[in-house]
Amino acid sequence: MSRRGLTFGLAGALFVILVVLATVLPVPYILLVPGPVTDTLGSIPGAKPNTTTPVVSVSGTQTYPTGGHIYLTTVGVVPGTCDHQPTLFQTLRAWLNKTEAVEPQQVQCPPNESPGDVQKANEHDMSQSQQDAITAALLQLGYPTTTRELTVSDVSSDVPAAKVLRVGDGVVAIDGHPINGLTPLRAQLATHKPGDTVALTIDRGGQRKDVSVKTVAAPGTHRPIIGFTPDLRATFKDVHVKIGIDPAEVGGPSAGLAFTLGIVDQLTQGELTGGKTVAVTGTIDGFGHVGPIGGIQQKIAGAKAAGATIFLAPASECEDARAVAPSSMTLVKVTTLQGALDALDALTSGSGSVPHC
């Protein structure tokens, strides 16, 4: 064999080896791909064969017919669990696809957490988003509460309260003054200055206890804060809402706004969508505040494939949404449940302003 032929032969063999390695060699990344959408006004397969379960069901009060679709959007993660990694070939292909994204594995799978811990956290976030959706929807519609409790949704790691408070704690009182919402919380903290110690009564797992925490200044201000993100836990008289999606099947908090709109549509006359196909993403808390999410590009792609013509997105995601949304899709910027409802009313009625992304 000539030297030239030998060179081509070696190059070809090397190429084959590289291709084989690319298809089997795992790399420490995860791939975000468009996930399936679910209509919060519809049903999903039930636990038993040939049965279905409503995504949202309401009892104990008057419900109304709905129309159109309100899709919750999701992101698929490849390879799906923290125990596995994608191949180099899969990663390169995703890198070149504008509807997919590549992230370091530790973003979704922190090195100090086991795969089971990650799964439990995702399930908890989904369960919490369902509860917050119910609370936000029923409060928005004026249903009377039997109990209301301010809770700790998150605690900043760099504040004194991080050593005292836990996620899920109920904040019953500050300095002996009952606290059941944001207004009394802020009013009582306003009587202090940063660095003061405040007395809290908290409810942890049904047990009340008194603790003390030192306040800090809110970033860029002299306003005293404790350093936790508040949420609202409430129960309601007579009316009961059940969400049929298993948190173990769809994890994370970003379906909150979609669930909330599905509940509101069932409990109000007329069609919230005006018969249109609406896709939604965004977290929500019990107060009706809409928060940021991840994977907006993949969710836009999933919504497009489902035929959505309107997409509701948190304000912080608008720039990324604009970069990938088709011109035929109306992008709506939302920060609150009320804002989302106002925007849908404007779009379906043809009157009023729409906060476009």
Q: How far apart are CA 300 and CA 75, in angstroms?
A: 10
CATH 2.30.42.10 assigned to 145-236 = yes
pLDDT for the residue 231: 95
Find all residues with CB under 8 Å of 329, minimum gap 6, and list them. 300, 303, 304, 308, 309, 310, 311
CB 281, CB 70: distance < 8 Å: no
**Exposure string (b/e) for 14-47, b if CB count within 10 Å is 16 or more?**
eeeeeeeebeeeebebbbbbbbebbbbbeeeeee
DSSP H/E element including 213: strand 207-214
CB 224, CB 189: distance < 8 Å: yes
How much is the CA Rg of the chain, to the nearest whole Å? Answer: 24
> Any bridge partners for residue 291, and if so which?
283
User: Of 327, 316, 324, whose CA–CA distance to 294 is shortest?
Assistant: 316
Q: How far apart are CA 96 and CA 325, in angstroms?
A: 17
**Exposure string (b/e) for 294-319, b if CB count within 10 Å is 16 or more?**
bbbbbbbbbbbebebebbbbbbebbe
Interval 229-261: pLDDT, tens: 999 999 998 999 999 998 988 888 999 999 999
> Any bridge partners for residue 137, and if so which?
none
CB 184, CB 178: distance < 8 Å: yes
pLDDT for the residue 189: 93
| CB hemisphere CA count around 165 (13 angstroms) | 33
pLDDT for the residue 14: 47
Question: Within the chain, which residues score under 50 in pLDDT?
Answer: 6, 8-22
Q: Nearest 5°: phi and psi at 82?
A: -75, -5
Find all residues with CB under 8 Å of 116, minimum gap 6, and list them. none
pLDDT for the residue 24: 52
CA angle 103, 108, 113 (to 5 degrees): 140
User: Of 228, 251, 264, 234, whose CA–CA distance to 129 is shortest?
Assistant: 251
CB 310, CB 304: distance < 8 Å: no
Residues of the chain with CATH 2.30.42.10: 145-236
